[in-house]
Amino acid sequence: MQIQQLNQLRITIKQKLESINQELDKIAIITQQKELLSREDEDINEKVIDLLEDSLTSYLEDFKLEINVQTIFLIIPNPESIISLKKNQELFLNSIFK
């Protein structure tokens, strides 16, 4: 009897995980991000290589931020310190006004 209950619990957990993975896929599509979870049927080596390529490959280089607002005192982080952006990397700049 306990073996049947354990098997049923295992099936239920597997179904819940599949449902969670489906929701994560939807979120990844909406946010244009890659998922960090791997399924049983996926090649983990391929996934790691894909994630590493995206994290190490620059997609935007040699850009310059030009400011035409005279009331800005400081921009954080310093735009000159940003040398490249990766795929799907967000750039947040904060400004302090005079």
Q: What is the pTM of this model?
A: 0.38
Domain around 28: 1-56
pLDDT (tens, 9 = 90+) of the chain, 98 residues, equals: 688 888 888 888 888 888 887 877 776 666 556 656 667 777 778 877 777 776 677 677 777 777 777 888 888 888 888 877 777 777 888 888 88
Report the C-alpha gap between 68 and 59 in whole angstroms: 26
Report the C-alpha gap between 75 and 94 in whole angstroms: 6
Indicate whether 44 and 72 sit together in one domain: no
Indicate whether 48 and 63 sit together in one domain: no
The size of the chain, in residues, is 98
Indicate whether 74 and 31 sit together in one domain: no
Indicate whether 89 and 65 sit together in one domain: yes
Indicate whether 26 and 64 sit together in one domain: no
> How many domains in the chain?
2
